[in-house]
Structure 1
Amino acid sequence: MEIKQYLEPLIKWWKLILVACLLAGISSFLIISRQPPTYQTRVSLVIGRAVYEPNPSGGEMGLAQQLAAYYANIAEREVIRNATMTALNLRWLPAYASQAVPNSQIIEITVTDTDPVRAQAVANELANQLIKQSPSNPDLKEQKRQEFIRQQLELLETQIQDTQEQIAQQENEMGTLNSARQIAEAQADLTAQRQKLTTLQTNYATMLGTSLGRASNSLNIIETAALPTRPIGPNRGTIILMSIAIAFMISAGAAYLIEYLDDSIETPEEINRVMKLPVIGFIPEIDNDVHKATIVAEKPRSVVAESFRAVKVSLDFGQVDVPAKSFLVASVSKTEGKSMIASNLAMTYALSGKKVFLLDADLRRPSLHTYLDLPNAKGLTTLLLHPEKSIQQCAQSLPIGNLSVITAGNSVENPSDLIGSQRMKDILLELSERSDYLIVDGPPVLVTDSTILSTAVDEVLIVVGYGLTRRSEAAVALKRLESAGAKIGGVILNRIPRNNRAYYRLYHYDYGMPAEDTRSIKLGKFHFPMKFNRPVNKKKKPASHDTSDLGDQVASRVDKTI
């Protein structure tokens, strides 16, 4: 498959996608514009004092990281939330998150709120409440205890210094002693001083370890929450673009789903893929204010008439070696408009100066007599059931070129037997010999009668209705015709909507012409405008294959009729 085939659903449903994206963008903008700006602030805490030590141990660092994860989890518990709301006299807290910075002993508490002042106050108070849950809780009793420890540490520092000085002095004096008794007493005194120094140092180290300044399980604020001045959201542009992107994906998915579920044929590319046949004509939808089966005669300058002339040209140029004289116009089902195609195609050949027979061979649901307002008492069934009847007795001439119509006739109970009879083949052969072209309006291909008729004509023209013919049915119809050995001339895509401008840009040439004096002739309840650029009694030009001035040819036929 080509890329264009993948993009066809998007191109076809571009209006749906555009509307969905516009609605998503506008609605998201209206919603976001009503939302207040949000602000964010952050407070940071550190665990212990290892980070401030010149030579921290690995054990201290690992313990601090474990404690950081523990306190980060505690910060999001109800006990901290409730204590913070009570301290700030709030009924609710804005959204916040607490996390331990990876591979460190730092905790970050981030608060997001629409009020920047409240966000700052909540962040700082959360940190304070978290500190109160730790051993470093600075209550009054603990403060007194820490003050006592500080005083004791200062006293121990003084005693240690004095003892060290006494030891140094005694060591110097021992060098001046001469008697053994004095030396023994001095050594005993020096030993006692050294033991005293050791005891003092041990007490100092123990007391220093119990102080908060050296505790591993302690919390300290290293960065208080600042007052945020710039909002962090909402990011209107990003949200609107995301809404549009989501709407595009949903609507595009809906377009592909619709196309997947829709089994109808709408493009010539689909016809080529499914049926492997060329499209020889594109017929637009005909307005209801005109007679669809005779629009070529009623409005010879219309786009529809030009479309049928294009079909005629395609058939003429496609029959260089062995020209086809008889055509079966058949549709896949009953709603594609085959009778309208057959009638207007026959009129197009007749207006070009050819002798044409138009035969209604749809004995199950005949319609040509209704479209052309012709009597149906005698017709094809008359010729089939009464061999003594001649074609002249059943054919009805129309004042449109040299066109004769044979209607279906009265209904019969066994149409398939009559269509497959030798008499039917003889009638088709005689009509082909007595005319330049024979146009047969047959039943749908899915009906057995059409398969039988396809082998008795030169070519079969398949009518496909835009958005009406299903791919599966078209494939089955083609298989039936190929199995019967029918020669298929091509496909006519009918009933293309008028609002589908792409077809008119690609497949039609609408050339405007000035208005001219017209007369009309009456055929049943139909009035056909005919162009007269010259006096009626002027010698008419011989008929030719040139379709550039169809009005002159029609006028010449009218002169003869009048």
Structure 2
Amino acid sequence: MELSTYLSVLQRRKWFVILSVLLGTAIAAAFTFLSTPQYAASTTVRVLTIGSTDSSARPDITYTERLVNTYSRIITGNNVRRQIMNELGLENMPIISVQSIAGTELIRIVAEAPDPEDARDIANAAADVLVDENREFFSGGAGQTLKDILSEQVDQALIALNEARTNYDAALAASPPVETAISAAREALETRERTYTSLLTQYEAARLEEAVRANAITIVEEANAPNRPAKPRHPVNLALGLAIGLIGGIALALLAENLDTTLYTAEQIENATQMETVGTIPASKDDLSIARLGAGHYPQLESFRRLRTNILASGSGGSQVALLTSAKRGEGKSTVSANLAVTIAQSGREVVVVDCDLRLPTVHKLFDLPNKRGLTNILAGEVSLDESMQYSAFPRVQVITSGPLPPNPTELLGSQRMLDLIEQLKTQFDFIILDTPALLSVADAAVLAPAVDNVILVVAQSQTRRGDVQTVRRQLSSVRVKSIEVVVNRAEPNGSYAYYEAEAR
């Protein structure tokens, strides 16, 4: 669908959108104002990524993320949170989260609590626990470290060195001195010295690294008690509720439009009927009577003039016979028939309206004429055409009312007498309008359709369903009519209609 179509749907289904927005906003407001305020306090901690750099001193991003994730799991774990809960005497497990500050070695420990001071204490306690856990781990609390192992080896190397030195001194003091023994003792002493020096160097490096690692986590900024609650966020929640309501309303509107088979626009009617639309008659708050139309009532007069132009343009030049029908009752076909007759007569043509609705006739009411005799009397051979013809209040418009209601209207309308009557009327009038019953109710219109030049299907906008007009199209196609055209009745007024209406007032 085009954007204009979507906008038309939303305009038509605006209450879905409005109610959904109101509901979404109301739920968000209720959740926001009834929720217990939550205060958030944060402690900033620095994490040194020792051993995570290469020769270019560029941090290993993967290692850093892994390290931060590890600390995050430690802090947010149940053991740490339970420890903090017990230390602070809290009733519930504290809410703790960890956020890394991009491009730095800093992480932020965030604690949430209904009380601002509790939030501050929880954040600071979590940072203290992290520092202590790290110090204990790298200080041997978790078992023997590399420094401890090297310390033992240094002690053993020192004992071996002292023993080698004693042996060397003894070799020098021997009398007489034995050069081979002195040489062997000196070589052993030098070996012990190298071993001791190497282990001592490794020990010092391990001790230094352990000391640094034990203090790799330092508190940069302690948490303070917040002044305002962090949750609920009133503007954000209300905006979110409004947005969700708006999206939900639009979705409901589109779903309702998809499920609703009522034809709301001329475009929908054309797509459903696959027929050409020759006229659109706008809806009116006032009664659309032929008396008002004849007096020059806008905008309907302009609409009927356009309809007249389109219908006459499709004719072959001689007398035209048009059959007006609709899918169901109440779509305004008889009113359209009467007004079309008046409008065509205003162009100087002789017009006759024949009320072929022998079940619920209304043409005589529209023209304010008696209905004592009419079409049924002609078809029964009781009266002649001239005897049943009545002049209306409008120049060049004559009417044949239905007459008494017969028991067999379909048979009468499909009889040879009816066909002969149509031929007779064509010799006397320029335009013949046959007002027939709704097609889905009875077959009266279908039996007459092959005998006319044009079938005009009146479709009331926003009242007719897609399936109904499609059924009518199939019925008319099955009887091989010459031409089928559509008139959209009771259409929503557009800007031009509003203009003409204002001019008429």
In the alignment, structure 1 residue 111 sits paired with structure 2 residue 105: no
Equivalent residue, structure 2, for 1:263 = 261
In the alignment, structure 1 residue 449 sits paired with structure 2 residue 444: yes
Q: Assess if the C-alpha contact under 8 Å between 2:42 and 2:110 holds in 1.
A: yes
Question: 1: CA distance between counterparts of 2:63 and 2:262?
Answer: 72
User: What is the deviation of 1:206?
Assistant: 11
Equivalent residue, structure 2, for 1:555 = none
Question: 2: CA distance between counterparts of 1:456 and 1:164?
Answer: 134
Q: What secondary structure sits across from 2:177 in the alignment? A: helix
Equivalent residue, structure 1, for 2:338 = 343
Q: Assess if the C-alpha contact under 8 Å between 2:42 and 2:123 holds in 1.
A: no
Q: What secondary structure sits across from 1:75 in the alignment? A: helix
User: What is the deviation of 1:215?
Assistant: 8.4
In the alignment, structure 1 residue 477 sits paired with structure 2 residue 479: no
Give the direction of change, closer, same or farther, for the CA distance of 1:199–1:353 in structure 2 (3 Å limit). closer
Which residue, 428, 435, 448 being the options, matches 1:434? 428
Question: 1: CA distance between counterparts of 2:116 and 2:18?
Answer: 39
Q: Cα deviations across residues 412-434 of structure 1 (Å, max 9, x unaligned)? A: 22111111101111222222322
Question: 1: CA distance between counterparts of 2:484 and 2:199?
Answer: 113
In the alignment, structure 1 residue 295 sits paired with structure 2 residue 292: yes
Which residue, 302, 307, 313 being the options, matches 1:311? 307
In the alignment, structure 1 residue 354 sits paired with structure 2 residue 353: no
Give the direction of change, closer, same or farther, for the CA distance of 1:66–1:12 in structure 2 (3 Å limit). closer
Which residue, 329, 332, 354 being the options, matches 2:327? 332
Larger CA deviation: 70-79 vs 277-286: 70-79
Q: What secondary structure sits across from 2:371 in the alignment? A: coil
Equivalent residue, structure 2, for 1:276 = 274
Amino acid at match of 2:364: H
Q: Cα deviations across residues 171-229 of structure 1 (Å, max 9, x unaligned)? A: 9x96xx99643657756875886798699779979998997973899675234444479
Q: Cα deviations across residues 290-346 of structure 1 (Å, max 9, x unaligned)? A: 36354323x423322232222222223333x43442211111221211011111112
Question: 2: CA distance between counterparts of 1:63 and 1:359?
Answer: 93
Question: 2: CA distance between counterparts of 1:81 and 1:511?
Answer: 75
Q: What secondary structure sits across from 2:261 in the alignment? A: coil
Larger CA deviation: 27-36 vs 72-81: 27-36
Larger CA deviation: 355-364 vs 84-93: 84-93
Equivalent residue, structure 1, for 2:58 = none
Give the direction of change, closer, same or farther, for the CA distance of 1:306–1:39 in structure 2 (3 Å limit). farther
Larger CA deviation: 272-281 vs 238-247: 238-247
- Structure 1 segment 114-513 matched on structure 2, within 5 A: 119=119, 121-130=121-130, 136=136, 180-181=176-177, 183=179, 214=210, 220-227=216-223, 243-287=241-285, 290=287, 292=289, 294-297=291-294, 299-319=295-315, 321-385=316-380, 387-446=381-440, 447-488=442-483, 490-497=485-492, 500-501=493-494, 504=497, 509=500, 512=503
Q: Cα deviations across residues 335-390 of structure 1 (Å, max 9, x unaligned)? A: 211011111112223344433221110112222234444332212111112x1411
User: What is the deviation of 1:465?
Assistant: 0.6
Q: Assess if the C-alpha contact under 8 Å between 1:357 and 1:405 holds in 2.
A: yes
User: What is the deviation of 1:27?
Assistant: 7.9
Question: 1: CA distance between counterparts of 2:53 and 2:165?
Answer: 34
TM-score, normalised by the number of residues in structure 1: 0.68
Q: Assess if the C-alpha contact under 8 Å between 2:350 and 2:396 holds in 1.
A: yes
Question: 1: CA distance between counterparts of 2:271 and 2:68?
Answer: 67
User: What is the deviation of 1:38?
Assistant: 4.8
Specify every segment of 5 or more residues in structure 1 that has no aligned partner in the other structure, as ranges. Answer: 55-61, 515-562
User: What is the deviation of 1:466?
Assistant: 0.4
Q: Cα deviations across residues 451-485 of structure 1 (Å, max 9, x unaligned)? A: 11112222221101101222222122123223322
Q: What secondary structure sits across from 2:136 in the alignment? A: coil
Give the direction of change, closer, same or farther, for the CA distance of 1:301–1:188 in structure 2 (3 Å limit). closer
Question: 1: CA distance between counterparts of 2:53 and 2:369?
Answer: 110
Equivalent residue, structure 2, for 1:84 = 84
Equivalent residue pairs, number = 484
Amino acid at match of 1:389: V
Specify every segment of 5 or more residues in structure 2 that has no aligned partner in the other structure, as ranges. Answer: 56-61
Q: Assess if the C-alpha contact under 8 Å between 1:43 and 1:108 holds in 2.
A: yes
Q: What secondary structure sits across from 1:329 in the alignment? A: strand
Q: Assess if the C-alpha contact under 8 Å between 1:72 and 1:100 holds in 2.
A: no
Equivalent residue, structure 2, for 1:536 = none
Give the direction of change, closer, same or farther, for the CA distance of 1:72–1:469 in structure 2 (3 Å limit). closer
Q: What secondary structure sits across from 2:285 in the alignment? A: coil
Structure number with greater CO (CA < 8 Å, separation at least 6) is 2
Give the direction of change, closer, same or farther, for the CA distance of 1:40–1:432 in structure 2 (3 Å limit). farther
Q: Cα deviations across residues 33-78 of structure 1 (Å, max 9, x unaligned)? A: 997785544435569x756999xxxxxxx99999987665343333
Amino acid at match of 1:365: L
Q: Assess if the C-alpha contact under 8 Å between 1:332 and 1:473 holds in 2.
A: yes
Q: Cα deviations across residues 73-120 of structure 1 (Å, max 9, x unaligned)? A: 343333311221233344346532359999xxx995631447776555
Give the direction of change, closer, same or farther, for the CA distance of 1:3–1:431 in structure 2 (3 Å limit). same
Amino acid at match of 1:396: Q
Q: Assess if the C-alpha contact under 8 Å between 1:459 and 1:488 holds in 2.
A: yes
Amino acid at match of 2:494: R
Larger CA deviation: 415-424 vs 216-225: 216-225
TM-score, normalised by the number of residues in structure 2: 0.75
User: What is the deviation of 1:9?
Assistant: 2.7
Q: Assess if the C-alpha contact under 8 Å between 2:298 and 2:500 holds in 1.
A: no
Q: Assess if the C-alpha contact under 8 Å between 2:9 and 2:254 holds in 1.
A: yes
Give the direction of change, closer, same or farther, for the CA distance of 1:184–1:291 in structure 2 (3 Å limit). closer
Question: 2: CA distance between counterparts of 1:216 and 1:41?
Answer: 21
Q: Assess if the C-alpha contact under 8 Å between 1:94 and 1:111 holds in 2.
A: no
Larger CA deviation: 340-349 vs 2-11: 2-11
Give the direction of change, closer, same or farther, for the CA distance of 1:204–1:116 in structure 2 (3 Å limit). farther
Question: 2: CA distance between counterparts of 1:331 and 1:52?
Answer: 84
Give the direction of change, closer, same or farther, for the CA distance of 1:482–1:170 in structure 2 (3 Å limit). same
Q: What secondary structure sits across from 1:181 in the alignment? A: coil
Question: 1: CA distance between counterparts of 2:189 and 2:370?
Answer: 145
Q: What secondary structure sits across from 1:343 in the alignment? A: helix
Q: What secondary structure sits across from 2:369 in the alignment? A: coil
Give the direction of change, closer, same or farther, for the CA distance of 1:13–1:69 in structure 2 (3 Å limit). closer
Question: 2: CA distance between counterparts of 1:73 and 1:130?
Answer: 11
Q: Assess if the C-alpha contact under 8 Å between 1:131 and 1:137 holds in 2.
A: no
Amino acid at match of 2:377: T
